[in-house]
Amino acid sequence: MKHFLNLIDLSGADLDGLLTEAARLKLAQARREPTASLKGRVVGLVFEKPSLRTRVSFESGVAQLGGTSLYLPGNEVGLGWRESLADFARTVSNYLDALVLRVFQHATLDGLAAHSSIPIINGLSDWSHPCQGLADLLTVRELFGTEKGKTVAFVGDGNNVARSLAVGCGRLGAKFVLACPKGYAFDDKFKADYAARVSADFPAEVNDPFAAVQHADVIYTDVWTSMGQEAEREERLRRFDGFQVNAKLLAAAPKHCKVLHCLPAHRGEEISDDVMDGPACAAFQQAGNRLHAQKAVMEWLLR
Ligand code: CP
């Protein structure tokens, strides 16, 4: 059974094919061409955490492909505590054709995938955010014609979003640089996975955001305090001081540099209003691309 849990599970050719199909689906949607690749299919969505982009883009995407979606609040299905992950997976495999989940623990996805006879799609876990990574790569491709040889400077925490994008860049020939305070770089497990499965050439990690953006085609940022890290908020605000993506940082990058953000943004923290609302920012194009990237993923899994 094919799942979509981490970008590292996909080859460069898989990713390239998904991006090509996402671009085709985007054009078809703009032309209002009817598409029925998910006709008769039902996709379940289980969310243990809040979401705007992921939930709405999946529900819209399923509808646009002629299928039906079913939202299942995480606190009602009770993954792993109301019944075992194995029993849940075996049960819903009888009713659904695919299941999208946003979970606290990535282990929940692995536990479900091990017992599911339908594809499991990671709609964000503490480890990775592959749907976001795919939409990010689609946006870079749209902005520059190709991602190959481009430099993405991620200014922020070495988190789930950064891991997925770093892998996607590594697979498709883009350069990824992480700029973060000491103690917030990629963890050893990710470094080992990357070395074993992507490349021995690990993305650069620097503590100076100005050095990171010097040759950047894209500056990427994300919130400094993710969902579930609220207790660390004050400490993180202090540690990430100086890492805001603002006009001064953007001025240190090449003139053509674009700014991406996975959203939601904490304006005034990791990104300033003037950059967020300025001409370099492509975050809403990027948010829109979640729809097309995920439609390509669902087709890839269900066709
Ligand atoms: N970027 C992202 O996953 O957005 P949501 O949390 O709103 O789904």
Residues carrying an active site annotation: 102, 129, 132, 222, 262, 290
Distance 290 CA to ligand 1 centre (A): 9
The CB of 102 under 6 Å from ligand 1? The reply is no
Atom of ligand 1 nearest to the CA of 102: 8
Query: Is 90 exceeded by the pLDDT of residue 303?
Result: no
Name the band, by pLDDT with cuts 50, 70 and 90, for residue 228.
confident
Average pLDDT (88-107) is: 98
Q: Is the CB of 288 under 6 A from ligand 1?
A: no
* Contact status, residue 6 vs residue 127, Cβ threshold 8 Å: yes
Residue 200 and residue 197: Cα distance in Å, rounded? 9
Encode pLDDT of 61-70 as tens digits. Answer: 999 999 999 9
Q: What pLDDT was estimated at residue 153?
A: 98
Report the predicted TM-score, pTM, of the whole model to 2 decimal places.
Answer: 0.97
> 117 to each of 41, 260, 296, how far by Cα in Å?
14, 36, 20
Map 58-76 to HEC letters.
HHHHHHHCCCEEEEEEHHH
Angle in degrees, 0-180, between the axes of helices 283-302 and 12-30, rounded to the nearest 10: 110
Of all residues in the chain, the percent with pLDDT exceeding 90 is: 98
Degrees to nearest 5, angle at CA 48 with 47 and 49: 90
**Residue 151, phi then psi, degrees to nearest 5:** -115, 125
Give the SS3 label for residue 120.
strand
Q: How confident is the model at residue 227 (pLDDT cuts 50, 70, 90)?
A: confident
CA distances from 179 to 19, 33, 137, 140, 248 (A): 27, 42, 19, 19, 16
Ligand 1 centroid to Cα of residue 241, in Å, is 24
Average pLDDT along the chain:
97
CB of 227 closer than 6 A to ligand 1?
Answer: no
Assess whether the C-beta atom of 54 lies below 6 angstroms from ligand 1: yes
Helix (H) or strand (E) holding 178: strand 175-179
Run of H or E residues at 182: none
Kindly list the distances between the CA atom of residue 271 and the CA atoms of 66, 154, 223, 263, 267, in Å, as whole numbers in the listed order: 38, 12, 9, 11, 5
289 lines ligand 1 (CB under 6 A): no
Can you tell me the mean pLDDT for 250-278? 98
Please report the domains of the chain, with CATH numbers, ordered by start residue. Answer: 7-129+290-302 (3.40.50.1370), 132-286 (3.40.50.1370)
Query: Which residue minimizes the CA distance to atom 3 of ligand 1?
Result: 54
Looking at the CA of residue 287, tell me the nearest atom of ligand 1.
1
Q: To test the ligand 1 pocket, which listed residue (48, 263, 271, 289) has its Cβ within 8 A of the most ligand atoms?
A: 263
Q: Looking at residue 102, what is its pLDDT?
A: 98
Whether the pLDDT of residue 280 is over 90: the answer is: yes
Give the angle subtended at the CA of 2 by the CAs of 45 and 76, to the nearest 5°.
20
113-145 pLDDT, tens digit each: 999 999 999 999 999 999 999 999 999 999 999
Q: 103: Cβ below 6 Å to ligand 1?
A: no
